[in-house]
A and B are shown apart, each in its own frame.
Chain A
Amino acid sequence: AQSVTQLDSQVPVFEEAPVELRCNYSSSVSVYLFWYVQYPNQGLQLLLKYLSGSTLVKGINGFEAEFNKSQTSFHLRKPSVHISDTAEYFCAVRYLFSGGYNKLIFGAGTRLAVHP
């Protein structure tokens, strides 16, 4: 069965410190990988995605993520966080099955709390 694991449910960090939010997935087929951010009482906003090509992907708001096929990971990083980055972050994986629907599975989310 396909699954996406976000290893930390909550990550507290001080402002201007670096942060890494971890995401691992089960894999027996090709995948597309996504990170979304959700601010309180809002919908989902796409931060970045990996479909193919360079394994280091840059997104909005200074975030980047690296696809590691051997470790089936897609960790999200930011070198210096701001108070405004406080939000919930979701990793999502689209499993690419031949001849049928391609499932999009979400992780449980990581709540990033940036403290002054």
Chain B
Amino acid sequence: NAGVTQTPKFQVLKTGQSMTLQCAQDMNHNSMYWYRQDPGMGLRLIYYSASEGTTDKGEVPNGYNVSRLNKREFSLRLESAAPSQTSVYFCASISHRGQEETQYFGPGTRLLVL
């Protein structure tokens, strides 16, 4: 049981390049999320997926697209990277059992856009 995994751990892009951040969870969770973390701003939700086959915008979706490929995987794509997208990106999945809820975060992807 690996929990939530993210690849890559680090990435440097030039402005205008594209890339996909990968996230996978092996806990059979329905809900998955992408956040970005910036100094002094906490974590902000980019996109989320409440279940396989559904995705919705969060607080800061502009410049990003997502794909919920299957129950395990939820990828985040930057079509044309901008310096403002320099950030640390966290993927998370959530377990719901009745009223009990537990959140699991990946280790993060550090992205630098030059």
Which residues of A come within 8 Å of B, CB atoms?
Answer: 4, 6, 9, 32, 34, 42-44, 46, 49, 51-52, 90, 92, 94, 101, 103-109
Contact = CB atoms under 8 A, between A and B. Distances in A.
Contacts of A43: 90, 105-108
Interface of B is mostly: strand
Interface in B3-40: 33, 35, 40
B45 interface: yes
Nearest to A107: B42
B99 interface: yes
A103 B103 CA distance: 13
B41 A108 contact: yes
Given A90-B42, A106-B43, A108-B41, A101 B48 contact: yes
Given A101-B48, A101-B50, A108 B90 contact: no
Contacts of B50: 101
B71 interface: no
Contacts of A32: 101
Contacts of B107: 42-43
Given A9-B40, A43-B90, A109-B42, A104 B103 contact: yes
Sort A-B residue pairs by CB-CB distance and give the 7 closest, nearest first.
Answer: A106-B42, A106-B43, A108-B42, A44-B105, A43-B107, A43-B105, A109-B42
Contacts of A51: 99-101
Interface residue range, chain B: 20 to 34
Given A43-B107, A44-B90, A101-B48, A90 B101 contact: no
The CB with the most chain A CB atoms within 10 A, among B35, B48, B101, is that of B101
B101 A94 contact: yes
Given A43-B108, A44-B43, 9 more contacts: A32-B101, A43-B90, A43-B105, A43-B106, A43-B107, A52-B99, A106-B35, A106-B42, A107-B42
A110 to B, nearest CB: 10
A37 to B, nearest CB: 12
